């Protein structure tokens, strides 16, 4: 007897359904797990909202890559300002390096030959776009870039310092030996010149670079790794929203000016019957809309010109500006001033200067130390102690100090007049000069009158603040 019995067929069919049901349940469970992880990673309110995913709802990227940061930085001025303002201010004046005479002399030569401070400023900007950036030290040692660098003999072997974006510098291999002090650290990088988004055919060749030839900068990498945090990451969604408002406003004004019509089919309109006729009609309409001066004649088509009304997005934009300011640590007025040319107020400016001073004394100081130590380690600079000193960004300027002294003097003069005191008493004069910020009074003020004090000031016998 050939074939299966009805009972055997039912058993086999049942087994098939059971297997399909089991596979379906596994798939549903996997999707649920994936959705849970996905929600935690991409805006699911810490998995407390099981219905909405704000990243999907609002059109934000699920995960951010270097290309996202790069394009935002290159094509949106606010993002560019967030990245550039701290490095521009941090490197406004480079630090002074104090050490032995030989060290300072060699270091000055190194700075001159390599344009060091400018290169470090470029490295600083690049690392703020991505999670890290690298300074590729090109040396004349006769070895390939993938080979570990050896001891160098002189400054003249330093050919170039090249800042490299994260997108150009990919980790090719990491240390897998758990007993190694460098466990988890990169042991080889791959350099892709066009990885920054440019498409230069002359720079299509990739090459390996040994870590010893690189100095990595990664702001926010406080765990010993090379992976920091992009300056654009926590404000990326807000930057997208601000760009939407800007783009929508521009498009709305364009459409109002262009006055593009809405085309409605009327009675008597003969729809295209073939693909060729449809394409011909679409081409004719597109060509007409692209050239305002032309006339369009077609039986059965009516052109209506809508009046587009634009609501003010000011309130929504203000929330976005505040979010960007909070996330970047840069005042909103500073960011807007970078776009409009309007300077920030004194309070915002002082707050920014405090932030920059702190950044200098922490991250930037550590970066400079890493660079100098690299040159010492490989014999370019003398192995000796050195000190890095920055000027104080929060210090009152000389002109501001002079204005303050003038205000003090005016206030003190009014106080003397209101109390009816005579300026001839030794204590009052000493307090007056101290209040006004004079450094010293070399004369015996108890034996001179106001006229003699004025003459002494004119002759330079009494030292006073620089008016310049």
Average pLDDT over residues 105-124: 97
Mean pLDDT (whole number) for 333-360: 76
Confidence of residue 263 (pLDDT cuts 50, 70, 90): low
d(CA 155, CA 107): 9
Q: Note the pLDDT of residue 356.
A: 93
> Considering the domain boundaries, does residue 303 fall inside one?
no
- Cα within 13 Å of Cα(351), Cβ side: 14
The pLDDT value given to residue 195 = 72
- What pLDDT, on the 0 to 100 scale, is given for residue 194? 79
In a domain, 1, yes or no: no
Q: Per-residue pLDDT for 399 more than 70?
A: no
CA distance 172 to 149: 18
Domain hosting 39: range is 21-63
Q: What is the pLDDT of residue 57?
A: 77
* Confidence tier at 1 by pLDDT (50, 70, 90): very low
Query: What is the rounded average pLDDT of the residues 212-227?
Result: 92
CB distance 97 to 388 below 8 Å: yes
Does residue 414 lie within any of the structural domains?
Answer: yes
Please check the confidence at residue 380 and state whether its pLDDT lies above 50: yes
Rounded percentage of the chain residues whose pLDDT exceeds 90 = 43
Same structural domain, 242 and 156? yes
Instruction: Show which of 392, 408, 433 is a domain's final residue.
Output: 392
- For the segment 316-321, the average pLDDT, to the nearest whole number, is 89
Same domain (yes/no): 27, 167: no
Q: Mean pLDDT across the stretch 353-367?
A: 94
- 196 near 170, Cβ under 8 Å? no
Ranges 16-25, 60-69, 158-167, 360-369: which has the least confidence: 16-25
Pick from 242, 212, 194, 210: nearest CA to 66: 194
Pair 450, 352 in one domain: no
- The verdict on 51 and 178 lying in the same domain is no
**Is residue 295 included in any domain, yes or no?**
no
pLDDT in the model for residue 321: 92
Are both 172 and 51 inside the same structural domain? Answer: no
Q: What is the pLDDT of residue 381?
A: 96
95 and 226 both lie in a single domain: yes
- Tell me: do 149 and 198 sit in the same domain: yes
Report how many domains make up the chain: 3
Mean pLDDT of 254-282: 70
Specify the pLDDT at position 349. Answer: 80
Per-residue pLDDT at 448 exceeds 60: no
Whether 4 shows a pLDDT value over 80: the answer reads no
Q: Is residue 186 part of a domain?
A: yes
User: Exposed, middle or buried by CB within 10 Å (0-12, 13-18, 19+), for 420?
Assistant: exposed
Instruction: State mean pLDDT over 458-467.
Output: 56
In a domain, 324, yes or no: no
Q: For the beta carbon of residue 347, count every other beta carbon within 10 angstroms.
A: 10
Using alpha carbons only, what angle is made at residue 120 by residues 114 and 126, rounded to the nearest 5 degrees? Answer: 130
Tokens of 241: 């929203």
Same domain, 168 and 49: no
Res. 436: pLDDT tops 70: no
The least confident of 16-20, 162-166, 193-197, 239-243 is 16-20
Number of H helices and E strands in the chain, helices first, is 15, 10
Of 354, 372, 392, the residue that ends a domain is 392
Same domain, 360 and 417: no
Mean pLDDT calculated for residue range 256-277: 69
Average pLDDT value for the chain = 78
Residue 100 binned pLDDT confidence (cut-offs 50, 70, 90): very high
443 shares its domain with 384: no
Instruction: Using the 3D structure, point to which of 63, 81, 96 is the last residue of a domain.
Output: 63
Answer with the residue of higher pLDDT: 281 or 423.
Answer: 281
379-to-97, 150, 376 alpha-carbon distances in Å: 18, 9, 5
- What is the tens place of the pLDDT at every residue in 38-96? 545 545 555 566 677 778 778 888 899 999 999 999 999 999 999 999 999 999 999 99
Band of residue 376 on the pLDDT scale cut at 50, 70, 90: very high
98 and 30 housed in the same domain: no
pLDDT band at 112 (very low <50, low <70, confident <90, very high): very high
* For the ranges 202-211, 329-338, 359-368, 452-461, the one whose mean pLDDT is highest: 359-368
Determine the pLDDT at residue 352. Answer: 86
145/220 same-domain check: yes
The pLDDT score that the predictor gives to residue 361 is: 94
């Amino acid at each position: 007897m050939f074939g299966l019995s009805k009972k055997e067929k039912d058993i086999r069919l049942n087994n098939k359904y059971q297997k399909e049901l089991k596979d379906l349940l596994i798939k549903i469970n996997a999707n649920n797990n994936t959705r849970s992880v996905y929600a935690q990673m991409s805006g699911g309110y810490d998995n407390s909202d099981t219905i909405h995913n704000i990243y999907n709802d609002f059109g934000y990227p699920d995960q951010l890559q270097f290309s996202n940061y790069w394009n935002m930085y290159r094509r949106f001025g606010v993002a560019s300002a967030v990245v550039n303002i701290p490095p521009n201010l941090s490197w406004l004046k480079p630090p002074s390096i104090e050490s032995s005479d030989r060290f300072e002399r060699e270091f000055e030569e190194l700075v001159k030959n390599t344009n060091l401070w400018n290169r470090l400023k470029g490295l600083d900007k690049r690392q703020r776009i991505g999670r890290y950036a690298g300074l590729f030290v090109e040396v004349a040692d006769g070895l390939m870039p993938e080979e570990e660098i050896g001891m160098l003999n002189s400054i003249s072997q330093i050919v170039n310092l090249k800042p490299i974006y994260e997108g150009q510098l990919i980790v090719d291999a990491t240390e897998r030996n758990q007993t190694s002090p460098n466990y988890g650290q990169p042991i080889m990088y791959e350099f892709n010149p066009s990885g920054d988004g440019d498409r230069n055919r002359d720079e299509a060749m990739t090459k390996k670079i040994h870590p010893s030839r690189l100095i990595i900068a990664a702001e926010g990498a406080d765990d010993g790794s090379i992976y920091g945090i992009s300056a654009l990451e926590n404000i990326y969604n807000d930057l997208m929203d601000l760009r939407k408002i800007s783009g929508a406003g521009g498009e709305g004004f364009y459409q109002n000016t262009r006055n593009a019509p809405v085309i409605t089919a009327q009675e008597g309109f003969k729809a295209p019957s073939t693909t060729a006729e449809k394409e011909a009609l679409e081409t004719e309409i597109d060509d007409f809309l692209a050239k305002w001066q032309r006339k369009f004649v077609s039986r059965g088509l009516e052109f209506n010109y809508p009046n587009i009304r634009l609501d003010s997005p000011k309130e929504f934009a203000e929330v976005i500006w505040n979010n960007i300011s909070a996330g970047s640590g840069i005042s909103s007025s500073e960011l807007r001033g970078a776009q409009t040319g309007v300077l920030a107020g004194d309070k915002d400016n002082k707050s920014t200067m405090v932030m920059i001073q702190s950044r200098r004394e922490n991250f930037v100081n550590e970066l400079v130390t890493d660079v100098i130590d690299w040159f010492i380690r490989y014999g370019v600079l003398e192995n000796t102690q050195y000190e890095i000193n920055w000027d104080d960004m929060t210090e009152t300027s000389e002109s501001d100090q002079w204005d303050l002294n003038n205000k003090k003097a005016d206030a003190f003069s009014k106080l003397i007049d209101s109390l009816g005191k005579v300026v001839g008493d030794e204590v009052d004069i000493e307090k007056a000069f101290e209040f006004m910020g004079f450094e010293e009074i070399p004369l015996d003020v108890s034996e001179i009158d106001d006229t003699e004090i004025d003459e002494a000031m004119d002759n330079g016998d009494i030292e006073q603040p620089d008016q310049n």
